[in-house]
Amino acid sequence: MVENKNLRNTGFLGILEHMAEDKKRLLTGIQSSGQLHIGNYLGALKPFVESYDKYESTLMVADYHALTSLRNPDQLRENIVDVVADYIAVGVNPTVATIFKQSDILEHTELAWIFECLVTVPFLSQAHAYKDKVSKGLDANAGLFNYPMLMAADILLYDTDVVPVGEDQRQHIEYAREAAAKFNLAYGETFKEPKEMILKDVGTVPGVDGKKMSKSYNNTIPLFGTDEAIRTAVMSIKTDSTAVGAPLNPETDITFQLHAHFTPNLAEIQKRYMDGTIGYKESKELLANNIIATISPMRERRAALSREAVIQILKDGAEVARAKASAKMKLVREKVGVALY
């Protein structure tokens, strides 16, 4: 791989110089859980790229969160590097956003323990994400159960103003606000209560079978797959039995729903659907071409980014994050009464 020297040359001071004090603080967390797909791109990466420079933005790799389900250390190490490379490839500038991994900042788990001492078991048992994952067969370990308080610590350590989330993750931010409120009530005003930034425009990205695109459903189109892998996935999209030459319904067709995110001349495609002048095969071929055209420049940037450059970005980001987290936890320790010297 070619090392990107510009990305390596970020530095602690270089990052701080790009942070405007009057900007609101935004934090988003990403789990290092494996290869990303276009649903991840549309639902998380693309919205972040389009908005992060308007805020003092922090991008955290949630590697401790990943331990609730991942037991392969080699895979976790690769996933951490991969997910950072993915964000850089789609356009995130590490001199503008602070990028770090959760496990580098020990204050996250320390603060999570303090929050866990303030909330009740019945309160945590109401978490939608916990109940949903257990219902799908995921091990009901204590880490998964306490997940909301570690996420609250992730957010509150940095005096975060806004957290971009999908509608299904709104409760996580509500839990963070509740943790902040309980601490402030018990020990005095300390934490800012964050607000959620609901990502409404994207909605649910359909997989090739029509369900929500998800690795757990095995219905994804790979984000940085080869041209062949992308074409194979697109051509496997489920369709009905409408004959060639008959009008197609763009409102129910999965392929057309994905066209809406990748095809510039959408109105023309929609007209052809309704006129019956395009069949499913041609529609899929056009979609595959448009996805590849969108992804190819990103794929090239990703291939040029070395592992060493990614690790340097994480180290530089950790310096920035650690300074903020350390100052906050110093105050917290004084508030709760454990600071003696």
Q: Provide the annotated active-site residues.
A: 133, 212, 215
- Sort strands 56-61 and 25-30 into parallel, antiparallel or unpaired: parallel
What value does the CA radius of gyration of the chain take, rounded to a whole number of Å? 22
**Residue type present at position 230:** I
Q: Are 84 and 148 in contact (CB under 8 A)?
A: no
Q: What sections of 138-279 are H helices per DSSP?
A: 142-156, 170-187, 227-235, 254-262, 266-275
- Sort strands 98-101 and 162-165 into parallel, antiparallel or unpaired: unpaired
94 closest CA partner among 319, 325, 326, 324: 319
* Tokens, residue 21: 């004090």
Distance CA 51, CA 304 (A): 25
* Tokens, residue 233: 């996935």
Q: What is the DSSP letter of 53?
A: G
DSSP lists the bridge partners of residue 75 as none
Element at 98 (helix H, strand E): strand 98-101
* Tokens, residue 222: 């790979």
14 closest CA partner among 309, 310, 319, 307: 319
The secondary structure of 49-60 as a DSSP string is HHHGGGSEEEEE
